[in-house]
Amino acid sequence: MAELTFDFASVPPTWDFCFNEHCPHKETCMHYFAGRHLPEDNTEGFAIYPNALQNGKCKFYVEKRVIRAAWGFRKLFLNIKHRDDTPIRRELQQYLGSRSAYYRYMNGQLTLTPEQQAGVLDIFRAYGYTEETDFDNYIDRYAYE
């Protein structure tokens, strides 16, 4: 797995941290990885208790992995017919949860996971657009899902 420079600001505000040094999965778990990078001035927050590990398994385990995230829809809309523009934008807003979420993904405040990218492209394909299906920007980042 590729290692990235870790930016603690990328951790979601409600992320659970794990500090269980005896967990057999700690080297590949995103909860433990984020907990190891906790800034010294963070003194409280959400945590996973050691007893979450039962019979060698933890129900909170999230594999530490790097994904290719994307944001920005301008390129996708370059060759869209005028009549399809508004319906596609509405479907995207619904798919992404709200109009404000749509704009956060558009402007890079949020990034799309590979699964979300596929969902967005499926909306365009449903309208017959199968070419020029690139997002404006891509970045490799740790996955928190």
Tokens 């409280």 belong to 44
Structure confidence by residue, pLDDT tens digits, 44-89: 999 999 999 999 999 999 999 999 999 999 999 999 999 999 999 9
Residues paired with residue 47 on neighbouring β-strands, in sequence order:
17
Same domain as 54, residue 111? no
pLDDT of 106 over the 80 cut: yes
Q: Which two tokens stand for residue 64?
A: 């530490």
**Residue 3 confidence class, pLDDT cut points 50, 70, 90:** low
Nearest-10 crossing angle of helices 114-126, 82-96: 150
- CA torsion sign for 99, 103, 108, 114 is positive
Same domain as 98, residue 45? no
* Residue 125 pLDDT: 96
Mean pLDDT of 107-123: 96
Same domain as 83, residue 39? no
Q: Which two tokens stand for residue 40?
A: 């010294």
Residue 2 lies in a domain: no
Cα gap 103→110, rounded to integer Å: 9
Cα gap 122→133, rounded to integer Å: 10
Q: State the residue range of the domain holding 83.
A: 66-142
Beta strands 53-54; 57-58: pairing state: antiparallel
Cα gap 86→91, rounded to integer Å: 9
Structure confidence by residue, pLDDT tens digits, 24-49: 999 999 999 999 999 999 999 999 99
E-state strands within 23-129: 47-48, 53-54, 57-58, 66-71
pLDDT of 94 over the 90 cut: yes
Residues paired with residue 85 on neighbouring β-strands, in sequence order:
none
Residue 34 lies in a domain: yes
Same domain as 88, residue 121? yes
Burial of 35 by CB count in 10 Å (0-12 exposed, 13-18 middle, 19+ buried)?
buried
